[in-house]
Structure 1
């Protein structure tokens, strides 16, 4: 039964990713926005919705290891596994102007999450601050991208855009399929993992984190294969910002959660190192090369192997 849920979830994730990318690309053209901005916002945040559902559910169920481990593990997987695989398929060029804005936000959000975790709890005050920071970032991203597009600084496609309504329908339909698919997959994966009697923090960092990150994985890989590299890169950056400021913020505001000691001591620093690697690779030559993608994937394999050996 659990294996059937996993298989059906993967099918829905694939279909949802394709629909979301088609709709998001068309919306970018219709609104005169860059695909990077759409990737950071609509696609990045949309594909993170399974993490939101999972973390809130875990918080209310009294499972802080799953709630926090889901966010930290997803951010690690997004960079090391998802961005790494996308770069292996095709080198990913990075829009310098947009990333100069997004890199400090990603770095500050990561440092803030680590700093708050050292207090022992993600409380309501921290949650409110995170959500305010997310709103400020969204406003800044929209204004700067809109100005750049109007000044012809961005490479906005000049093809005839599709009507907005069908594009929105594609994007929303894709998101719905992604959420349903992720829910089915995570349910199946947790059922199998629980039977192996491993800790909830390990489940949160691995099974739940990877399961809820599959929308990002499928979306980024499909985007890379279709030549929408800005969408793939923006998806990872946007998802990681949203995971911390949006998901961890909303979870802490609605139902404060304890910061698991294992994550505070070890996994937070892996998340910080992965974030630093992403920023370094993206800023050096304004692209993520194939060999850098291979390095990221190797890092993720080593991380998972360490977790498995020390479980």
Structure 2
């Protein structure tokens, strides 16, 4: 058991460290190459901050544990929406101006409905994964065009807010570099550490499920999902502490979209197996309900107050309790 726990903890730490190094190195490379800050924010930071979830889900799928892979995706979105968004609202009520926020929450809701529909129908094919990635690319391209053409008073979209939240929590993200060697080295080191960390985390999760008699779905929904969601938790809370609650909100919504279409798409593409039925109806149902609740909060209440925030956090606690009881 000690070895298994060490594998879990060590793998998780390696994922977080590797993800941070990869983002920092990739941003340095992009800036040295003259890539525009907007592309860096929407694409490099957006995908880079999702690398812990991506590597974990792909490693699990390739290891023959789709329950951990898809449990990580569903569990990460639940942690984002219930735990992180709720914690941000408890720290500082989120007042949201409609526009981009309403559109982005709508995209997140549609992506959620699409994933639930795929699971219910039992569909699985590589082309499905590719289609999800194409949808994400179209969404990012639209956000890029929107930001390029916007007036100064624009209500920024969710991918932009993801980059803004990371910049608030990492003052060294744009540290100048005099040559290519440092960012290349940091990027390669980050990739290597990510792959090693993902392998250790998935191996530990599989071994823990077998030894403790727990389902791989439970491990993916809880331990793996919470661990890989820690970067979103940190960046969102930092943004909220600095009074940028809309940025924190956009960070959460953007993460959900990248998880569903990006990580879900890559997972389906590299390991085209059906989404485990063990996630139905409860886990995927709660994910869908939470997406509806957030969309309703933006549309009707124009924000997330402390009461709703507390309800979201309490709901996440109940979800974890029920998941553990069911095993």
If the length of structure 1 is used for normalisation, what is the TM-score?
A: 0.78
Separation in 2 of the partners of 1:141 and 1:282? Answer: 19
2:218 to 195, 202, 208: 202
- 2:140 is the counterpart of 1:138: yes
2:121 to 119, 123, 133: 119
- 2:274 is the counterpart of 1:266: no
Q: Cα offset for 1:230? A: 3.1
Give unmatched runs, 5+ long, in structure 2. 157-163, 165-171, 178-182
Separation in 2 of the partners of 1:290 and 1:310? Answer: 30
Partner of 2:59: 57
2:99 to 97, 100, 108: 97
What is the 5 A alignment of 1:191-270? Answer: 195-270=211-286
Partner of 1:298: 314
Separation in 2 of the partners of 1:11 and 1:225? Answer: 27
Contact 2:56/2:201, CA 8 A, preserved across alignment: no
Superposed CA offset, 1:190-226 (max 9, x none): 6656542201111111111111111211221222223
Give unmatched runs, 5+ long, in structure 1. none
Separation in 2 of the partners of 1:240 and 1:42? Answer: 16
Superposed CA offset, 1:248-303 (max 9, x none): 11111122122211213221111100111111222334322122111100111111
SS in 1 for 2:213: coil
**Change beyond 3 A, Cα 1:234–1:271:** same
What root-mean-square deviation, in Å, do the aligned CA atoms of Structure 1 and Structure 2 show? 3.8
Partner of 2:74: 72
**Change beyond 3 A, Cα 1:289–1:16:** farther
How many residues are paired up? 294
Q: Cα offset for 1:154? A: 2.3
Partner of 1:109: 111
Separation in 1 of the partners of 2:112 and 2:317? Answer: 22
Contact 1:186/1:207, CA 8 A, preserved across alignment: no
Separation in 1 of the partners of 2:196 and 2:83? Answer: 19
Partner of 1:47: 49
Separation in 1 of the partners of 2:113 and 2:96? Answer: 23
2:295 to 270, 279, 289: 279
- 2:326 is the counterpart of 1:310: yes
- 2:153 is the counterpart of 1:153: yes
Contact 2:18/2:194, CA 8 A, preserved across alignment: no
Partner of 2:167: none
Q: Please, which moves more after superposition, 298-307 or 45-54?
A: 45-54
